[in-house]
Structure 1
Amino acid sequence: MTPGRSAPGRNTPGRLPVAGAAEVRRATLRLVRADRRAFAAMLALNALAAAAGLAGPWLLGRIVDAVRAGQGVAVVDRTAPAILACAVVQLLLARWARYVGHRFGERTLARVREEFVERALALPAAVVERAGTGDLTARGTADVAAIGTTLRDAAPELLVNAVQALFVVTAVFAIDPLLGLAGVLGLGPIWWGLRWYLRRAMDGYLTEGAATSEVAESLAATASGARTVEAFRLERRRTAASRDALEESRRTRMYTLRLRTVFFPVVEVAYVLPVAAVLLVGGVLHARGVLSLGAVVAAALFLRQLAEPLDRVLMWVEQLQSSGASFARVEGLARSSGTAAPAACAVEPADDRIEVAGVRYAYAPGGAEVLCGVDLTVRPGERLAVVGPSGAGKTTLSRLLAGVDTPGAGSVTVGGVSIAGLDPERLRRQVVLVTQEHHVFLGTVRDNLRIAEPAAGDEALWSALAAVGADGWVRELPEGLDTELGGEGAGTDGSQAQQLALARVVLADPHTLILDEATALLDPATARHTERALAAVLRGRTVIAIAHRLHTAHDADRVAVMADGRLCELGTHDELVAAGGAYAALWRTWHGEDAGDPGPEPVADGAAPSGTAGGHAAP
C-alpha cells in the first residue's frame, strides 16, 4: 500500500489532505507492528511453501541426469512420489499461509475502519464544511473498501508469490551464477515496464479518487438541496454539474486504464525472455561440458515456474496502486484531525469570562478578512445580543466563540484558556453553539439525547425534554424514549429536531450558550412555549444571541453591533438608541418608524418574543 511519488496538488485548499509517501509507510509499519505475530507467521509459512515448491523442478532435473547416466526407469519410480509429496506439502502450506494472511487482513482492516471513524469524528466542523461531505463519504466507503480488498486478498497473495519468486531466482543462481544472471537480465523489460507504470499510476489513482469525491459531493449537494433545486428550477444546472463531475471521473479512469493497457502487454511478452535466455546460455555451457543437461532443464523449469508468481505479483500491482492511493486519502484524515486544531489544553479555565482580543479571521488563506480586529469581553451571566446587517461577521464571531473555528490572529479565551485549545468534552461544558441546523441521528430518542450526557438517566432525559416542551410528543411515540428515529423509524419534523437539539443543550449544561436563531424553525406558539421554558433553564448562564430580530437586543443586558467585520458599538439598548448611531438606525428601521409601522404586537406576560436569546419577557 506504499505509494510512489507524491502527487502534485494532493493537498488542495478546501479539500481534506492526502498523506504523503513517508506518512503512508509509517502507517503501514504501525499496522504491521500491531499484529506482528500473525505477520511473522504469514512470512514463515510462505517461505516454507516456496521452499517446498522448489523441490519439484530440482528433482526433475535429477531424473533427467539419472536417465542420461543409464540408471533406468527405476529412478523415476523412486523420485515421482517425492515430487508429488512436495506438491501436496506446498499446497497445504500455501493454504495455511493464505488463511493466516486473510485473518491478518481482516483484523488490520478493522483497525483502519476504527481509526477512520475516530479521526472523522475528531475533525473540526470547519474542516468538514470547507471540504464537503462528499469527499469524507468517498474516503469512508470506496477508499476503505479498496484497502479492505488489498488487506484481505492482495496482500496475502502478493506475499506468497513474492516469496516464491525470490526463492525461484535464488534456486537458479544456486544451479549456476551465469544462468541466474541470464534469467535476471531477461527480466529487464518487466522491470522497465514496472518502473514506467509506477511513476504514473499513483498520481493517476489519486486524481481518480479526487474525481470520485467530486461526484459524491455533487450528488450529495443535489440530494440535500432537492427542494431548493425544484423551487428555483435548477434541475438542468445541477444535471450539468453532475455530468461534468462524471465526465472528469470518466477521464481519470480512462487514464489509469491506458496505463494498464501498456503495462500488462509488455509484461506478458517479457515472460518468455528469461526462459529463452537461460536455454541459450545453458545450451552453450552444456556444450562446453560446464553444466549437465539436467541442470539446464531444472533452471529453465524454475524460470518457467517463475511466470506464475510473477504474473500474480504484477497483476496485483494495479490493485496495490489503487489501494495505496486510497490509503493515502484515508490516512490524510490524521493530518486534518491532528493539525487543524491546537493541542488540547490541560489547564482548567479560571472562571467563565470570555475574552476576544484583536481577533482577525478569513475563511481562506490570503482571502478577505471577515473579522478585522474584534475586541470584546463577555461577563459571566450576561445576556449579550450581537446585531448587524447581513455579512457583518455575526455568525463568524459566534463560531469563534464556540471554538468551531480558530482565529487567524488574536485570541478567544474562556477563563484565560484558549477556547479552541479545549478538548471537546471540556469545551462542551463551557460553550455550546445552537443554530437553526439540527440533526437527528439514527437511533432511539434516548441515544439522541445522551450524545450530550452519556450518563444521563431517564429522569434527567424527561426533565430535559420537558424543559423545551418536547415531552408531550415523545410520550406519544410507540416506545417513548426507546423509539427508533430516522431511517425506517419514526420521522421528526424540523421543530421536533430543533427541540431535541435544545434538550441536548439542557443536558450538556454549559455555562455559556450561543444562540443563532435557535428557535427559528418552530411555529410561533411552540417557539413561545419553548423560549418560556428555556428562560428558567438559562437563568444565571451566559447567553450570547446572534440577533437577526431586534427584540432579542431589546431584552439583552448589552448589545454588540457588528459592521464590516468590526465591532462598532457596544452598550445597552437604551444607551445605543440614545447615541443615534448604527444601532439606532437599525432599531428605527426594525421598529417601523421610517415606514410608519406601529411596531411589534405586544407579547403575553412571561412569554419571550420569537428569537429572544434568554427567553426573558419583553417589558
Structure 2
Amino acid sequence: MTALPVASSAEVRARARRLMARHPRELTGSLALHALAAIAGLVAPQLLGRLVQNAGNDPDSITPAVLLICGAVVAQSFFTWLAIPASLRLAEKVLADLREEFIDRVLELPPHTVEKEGTGELVTRTTRDVDVLATTVRLAVPDTLVAFSTVLLTLGAVVLTSPVLVLPCLVAVPVLWISTRWYLRRARAGYLRAGASYARLTGGLGETVDGARTVDALRLGPHRLRRVAEDIAESYAAERRTLYLRSVYLPIADTAYMLPLVATLLIGGLLHLDGRVDLAAVTAVSLYAQQIIGPVDRLLFWMDELQVGGASFARILGVHEAAGERRPESGTPASQDTGETDIVLKGVRHAYRAGQDVLHGIDLAVAPGERVAVVGPSGAGKSTLGRLLAGVHAPRTGSVSIGGTDLRDLPLDQLRGSIVLVTQEHHVFRGTLRDNLLIARPAADDDALRTALTAVGAWEWAAGLGLDAEVGSGAHALTPGQAQHLALARLVLADPRAVVLDEATSLLTPHTARRLERSLATVLEGRTVVAMAHRLHTAHDADRVVVMEDGRITEDGSHDDLVRRGGAYARLWHSWHGDRHPPRAEAEGAPVPETRNRTTRPGG
C-alpha cells in the first residue's frame, strides 16, 4: 500500500480548471480560432445541399457555389493553421506550470514519507505519470475541446437547417451514453491499478540493481526473479483489465457512429417524399451527420487517453497533498525563529510498525552550543533518535522542539536551516564538483568552497580534480571517503544552527576520521551538536554522553562520570580499549581510570 495519496476525481477537475484559468487570453484565443474553423466547415454542406436541389433549375448558380465552397475550405484551413499552434502554446504553458509545481512539491515531501514510500512509487510518478500527463495536456485536452465545440456547432447548424431532422442525428446518443458510463465507472480504477503496478515493478527492479552485489553474494537471484515475475504478472493483469474495457467500449462506439447518418438518410428521405422537408435540407443534414463522425470519434478516442491522463494527474496531485500535509507555509506566525538552539525531547515514542515501539519515553534536553554523544549497542535506537531530532520522522507520541518550537510546526525551509542530519549515506549528483557543493549554499563563491573543503581535509584531492571536474554517475567516480568529505563540506557551507551526526565519518579510516572530527570541532564551534557515536573517542571528547539501550536512555553524564560509575558506558569504553577485565564501579571520590587525552572542543 502506497504512503502517497491519490487525488479524487473532483479534485482533479477543480485543479484542471484552475490551471486553465491561469491563461485566459491564450485559452480564449485558441477556442475562438477553433470555433471559426468549425464554423467555416459548416458552410460547405449548406451550399452542397442547395446545389443538389437547384442544379437542374439554375445551372448558373453552380460556379458561384463552387467558389464559395472553395473559399470556405480555405478559410477553415487557415483558421485551423492558426488554432493548432495556439493550442500547443497553451498546452506547453499549462504543462510547464504543472512540472514546476510538481518538482516543488516533491522537494517539500516529508522526509519520513520519502523513506517509507521508497523509490519505486516516486520514480513512477515523476517519470511515467508526468510523461502520460504531458501527452494528455499537449494532445488530448486541446483536441477534445475542439471536437466538443465542433459537435455543438454542428448540431446548432442542424437545428437551423431543419429542426425535425435533429432527432435522427441524436439516435446514437443513448447508445454512446450508456456505453460511456459503463466504461468510465470502471476505467479510473483500472488505470490507477496499472499505475500502481508499474510503480511496484520499477521499485523491485531498482532494488535489485542497487543491491546487485548483495543479491549475488547471498544467492538471492531466484528470489528476486520471482519477485519480478510476480510484479510483471500483476502489471500484465492490470493492462489486460484496461484492454478488456477498451475492447468492449470501442466497437460499440464505432457501430454507433453510423446510426445518425443511416437514420438521417432514411427518415429524411421519407419526410422529403412526404413533402415535409426539402432535398437541400436532407442533403445538408446528411453531410452534417457524416461530418460529425470525425469529432465524435476524436472525443471517444481521447476519452481513453483522458482516463489515463486523469489517473496520472490524480497520482501527481497526491504528491501535492502529501507535501501540503507536512507543515505550515514559510513565514506563518507559528514558526518564529528565536535564534536559540536548545533541543528538547519530551516523552518521545516512535514506531515503524504499529504496536512495536523502538523508542520508549525518551526525555532529553540539549543546551545551546552543547555537544552530546549518543552511544549504545547496535539496535539501541540511536539512528532513529537522530532522525527524530532532524525532523525526518515525527514521534508517535511526545514532542521534539528546537528553540521552543515543535519541529512539526516549523516550515520546511526553516527546519532545514535550523538543524541538519549528516549520515553515512552520501549522494554525489551528476555535475561538476562545484555544483555538488553549491547545493548547500547557491550564492557561495570559490573562496567559500575552498574554505569548506579545507575545513574537512578535502582540498588536496579536490584541487587535484578541479572544481569544474565532472563527477557522479557516468563521470569521475568519487571514493566513499571522498563522497563523505563532500557531504561534510556541504554541512560547512550550509552553516546550520544545530547538527546531528549519524556515522558521518564511518567510511573514513580511524586516523582520518579522528583528524576530520578535530577539524570540524573548530568549524562547529558554538553550534549544538548531537553525534551518534560509533567510535567512542567521539564520546570521550563530548561535553555529555547519553547511553541508549533497547530504545531507552539508561545513562547520562560526562565521560569521566560515566566511566567512574562502572555501568554500561564504562563497559563499552573498556571493551573498545580491549580491556579483558574492566574495573568495577568506583566508590564516590575514587580516582577515575586513566583515559586518553581529551581535546578541548570535539568534532563529534
Query: Please, what TM-score do these two structures have when normalized by structure 2?
Result: 0.92
The aligned counterpart of 1:48 is 36
Instruction: Indicate whether 1:179 and 2:168 are aligned.
Output: no
Instruction: Indicate whether 1:206 and 2:192 are aligned.
Output: yes
3-state DSSP of counterpart to 2:548: strand
The aligned counterpart of 1:6 is none
Please show how residues 321-470 of structure 1 align to structure 2 within 5 Å. 321-344=307-330, 345-364=334-353, 366-470=354-458
Instruction: Indicate whether 1:19 and 2:7 are aligned.
Output: yes
The aligned counterpart of 1:129 is 115
Structure 1, residues 409-429: CA drift from partner, whole Å, max 9, x if none? 222111111223333443333
How far did 1:594 drift? 5.4
Match of 1:505 among 476, 482, 491: 491
CA RMSD of aligned residues (A): 2.3
Match of 1:300 among 286, 307, 326: 286
Instruction: Indicate whether 1:548 and 2:548 are aligned.
Output: no
State the distance in 2 between where 1:258 and 1:149 align: 23
The aligned counterpart of 1:4 is none
The aligned counterpart of 1:535 is 521
3-state DSSP of counterpart to 2:531: strand
3-state DSSP of counterpart to 1:420: helix
Q: 1:593 to 1:342 in 2, by over 3 A?
A: farther
User: Partner amino acid for 2:396?
Assistant: G
Please show how residues 596-615 of structure 1 align to structure 2 within 5 Å. 614-615=602-603
Q: 1:528 to 1:550 in 2, by over 3 A?
A: closer
Give the conservation status (yes or no) of the 8 Å contact 1:400–1:412: yes
3-state DSSP of counterpart to 1:185: coil
Please show how residues 65-214 of structure 1 align to structure 2 within 5 Å. 65-67=53-55, 70-214=56-200
State the distance in 2 between where 1:458 and 1:104 align: 41
State the distance in 2 between where 1:140 and 1:419 align: 28
State the distance in 2 between where 1:186 and 1:123 align: 48
How far did 1:110 drift? 1.5
The aligned counterpart of 2:544 is 558
Deviates more, 1:169-178 or 1:220-229: 169-178
How far did 1:262 drift? 1.0
3-state DSSP of counterpart to 2:357: coil
State the distance in 2 between where 1:603 and 1:47 align: 87
How many aligned positions are there?
A: 591
The aligned counterpart of 2:226 is 240
State the distance in 2 between where 1:603 and 1:579 align: 14
User: Partner amino acid for 2:282?
Assistant: V
User: Partner amino acid for 1:347?
Assistant: Q
User: Partner amino acid for 1:408?
Assistant: R
How far did 1:354 drift? 0.8
Q: 1:342 to 1:237 in 2, by over 3 A?
A: farther
Give the conservation status (yes or no) of the 8 Å contact 1:162–1:309: yes
How far did 1:389 drift? 3.0
State the distance in 1 between where 2:553 and 2:473 align: 44
State the distance in 2 between where 1:574 and 1:281 align: 103
Give the conservation status (yes or no) of the 8 Å contact 1:404–1:420: no
The aligned counterpart of 1:37 is 25
User: Partner amino acid for 1:412?
Assistant: V
User: Partner amino acid for 2:298?
Assistant: R
How far did 1:590 drift? 4.3
State the distance in 2 between where 1:119 and 1:513 align: 25
Instruction: Indicate whether 1:253 and 2:239 are aligned.
Output: yes
Give the conservation status (yes or no) of the 8 Å contact 2:429–2:473: no
Structure 1, residues 267-307: CA drift from partner, whole Å, max 9, x if none? 11111111222233323322332211221221111111111
State the distance in 2 between where 1:606 and 1:446 align: 36
3-state DSSP of counterpart to 2:352: coil
State the distance in 1 between where 2:30 and 2:355 align: 53
3-state DSSP of counterpart to 2:250: helix
Deviates more, 1:320-329 or 1:188-197: 188-197
The aligned counterpart of 1:7 is none
The aligned counterpart of 1:475 is 463
The aligned counterpart of 1:59 is 47
3-state DSSP of counterpart to 1:142: helix
The aligned counterpart of 1:312 is 298
How far did 1:322 drift? 0.8
Give the conservation status (yes or no) of the 8 Å contact 1:528–1:607: no
The aligned counterpart of 2:586 is none
How far did 1:332 drift? 1.4
Q: 1:111 to 1:522 in 2, by over 3 A?
A: same
State the distance in 1 between where 2:514 and 2:277 align: 99
The aligned counterpart of 1:5 is none
* Structure 1 unmatched ranges of 5 or more: 1-11
3-state DSSP of counterpart to 2:356: coil
Please show how residues 266-305 of structure 1 align to structure 2 within 5 Å. 266-305=252-291
State the distance in 2 between where 1:511 and 1:85 align: 73
State the distance in 1 between where 2:448 and 2:535 align: 32
State the distance in 2 between where 1:434 and 1:526 align: 17
3-state DSSP of counterpart to 1:373: strand
User: Partner amino acid for 2:406?
Assistant: S
Deviates more, 1:180-189 or 1:257-266: 180-189
How far did 1:586 drift? 4.2
Identity rate of aligned residues, in percent? 48
Deviates more, 1:90-99 or 1:14-23: 14-23
Q: 1:603 to 1:496 in 2, by over 3 A?
A: farther
